[in-house]
Amino acid sequence: MTGIEDRALAIVGVNDIELVQERILQELCEHCGAQSGSLWVAGERTGLRLRAWRGLVDRTALPELVDPSLVQSGPWLAGSNFLVPLVTAAGEVQGLAQLGDSLNGAFVDSLIPDAQRFGAFAASALKTAARFALLQRQGLRDRETGAYTLSYFTDYATKEIYKARRYGRSFSLLTFSIDNLTSIRTRLGAATARQAQQIVLRVISQVTRDADVVARAGEHEFHVLLPETDFFGGLMFLRRALSSLIEEPDGRALEARIPFGLTGGCATFPRDGDDFDELLIRCRRRMEERRGSLHHQLRLDPLPFWEEVELLLGNSRSPRLPETQGEPARRGKVADVLFDELQLEVARELLREPGARGLVYVGGPVMRADLPIVRGLDVSPAEFAPRVYLLGKRGDLASHPTITPVFLEGDEHLLRHEFLLWLGDGLAYALLQRRGRGATWGFHTSDPTLVEGLVSKLQAAYDLQPY
């Protein structure tokens, strides 16, 4: 058997963080006779994140994050598993390895001293590799904006694709474009155009994690890669970035002089493509869809939620909606039963994929226990991931295992209107309706940008959790 010192020396000279992680797990498993292993590593802003696994491992049963405060200072046996903390001489927890399925039937106490020595070496190797990666990244930044260069970003994306394929992970690619940059330069000068680029980069960087990478792709464009992020997570990042630009003082001041025209698009591996070019094409296609959205055509951004609802439903100031074939938005009389039927259909769809994240808001005059969406979600599995909110006056619905009630007493708007907003993994839908004498007047749409805007404004209007 190879000595533990030789195994430690085998990882000390490796500078690539991904290779170090895999080699640590390999050497530990081989030395301890483990047929399976998992490794959580520090580096994110919160906790130890799952970075590698091998052998007979049920990936779905592994936690994504481990709280470092729960990690002991030395290796320990836990049932049929052997846990090895990776701790530096200074006491910093750099990682945690979990070994399982011992070739000898069970792990024994005699493995602990070797594992503890190896853990100290491994912690040092991880810290060194992380520093090396940071230095490497710092030397590959664009001088004007401070973003990473496109060559570094492409290389990073290639490695991320390899990891995602090997471990069955997902990641999201986002592209942001400052559509009005040429106008800003023409009207306000080159210095202001550079300032606009720097503001956008600063705003995007403020909502990124340690592992996320932001790169300058061209004069107008920035790319963002979000490791281990599904489409819904990418969409929420996009919403945060766009809303943060409005809140940023310098951005707000410049926006008052001339709009940035910031547009974003998101694509996720592997659902939208299995290579970088495919994902980029999908990002740009979604950016074009946003530019053509009814939300932009009608210039709805400045309107608060209920003013936008009234305009979309139709009033004396409402513009005509486009009548292009296939237009994903319609206004007119709707059947009285449509609202109830859609609630049931949404409940069915949510239960069909209970692990898919999403946001659903249902609003109306009174929150009743017999509402279709309440009855439809009465029996939901433990892994139910979507967040469902019910807004209205308190009725006979006090609580629900899946639905969060938001009690709104005396809200005149909800006495006259009903709405259903659904933002999910790759889908969006909104129904707004106003009941009248003898007819119900409604507006419904599958325009993702318009639905996102309505959701954001509803959250702002009632102080709801934004993401």
Q: Identify each DSSP E strand in 67-212 by its residue range.
A: 76-78, 81-87, 93-102, 171-178
**Over the stretch 296-323, which tens digit does the pLDDT of each residue have?**
888 888 899 999 999 999 865 677 776 6
- Sign of dihedral through CA atoms 216, 41, 239, 429? positive
Spatial separation of the C-alpha atoms in residues 433 and 363, rounded to whole Å: 10
Spatial separation of the C-alpha atoms in residues 421 and 444, rounded to whole Å: 10
Range of lowest pLDDT (282-286, 295-299, 349-353, 447-451): 295-299
Strand duo 221-227 + 213-216: pairing: antiparallel
Best CA proximity match to 175, nearest among 328, 317, 285, 334 = 285
**Over the stretch 28-66, which tens digit does the pLDDT of each residue have?**
999 999 999 999 998 756 789 888 899 988 877 888 889
| pTM, two decimal places | 0.73
Identity at 26, one-letter amino acid code: Q
Q: For each of the domains in the chain, give its residue range(s) and CATH number, in order of start.
A: 4-138 (3.30.450.40), 150-291 (3.30.70.270), 305-461 (3.30.870)
Alpha helices (runs of H) in 370-438, residue ranges in sequence order: 372-376, 412-416
Spatial separation of the C-alpha atoms in residues 305 and 301, rounded to whole Å: 10
| Helix 190-206 and helix 231-247, axial crossing angle in degrees, nearest 10 | 130
Neighbours of 267 (CB within 10 A): 23
Strand duo 81-87 + 93-102: pairing: antiparallel
Spatial separation of the C-alpha atoms in residues 452 and 464, rounded to whole Å: 14
Spatial separation of the C-alpha atoms in residues 464 and 456, rounded to whole Å: 9
pLDDT at position 135 over 70: no
Q: Identify each DSSP E strand in 69-212 by its residue range.
A: 76-78, 81-87, 93-102, 171-178
Which of the two residues, 370 and 134, has the higher pLDDT score? 370
Residue 31 near residue 118, CB atoms below 8 Å:
yes
Sheet containing 403-407: order of strands: 329-334, 439-445, 428-436, 417-424, 358-367, 387-394, 403-407
| Residues listed for the chain | 467
- Name the pLDDT band for 144 (thresholds 50, 70, 90): low
What is the pLDDT, as a whole number, of residue 397?
A: 87
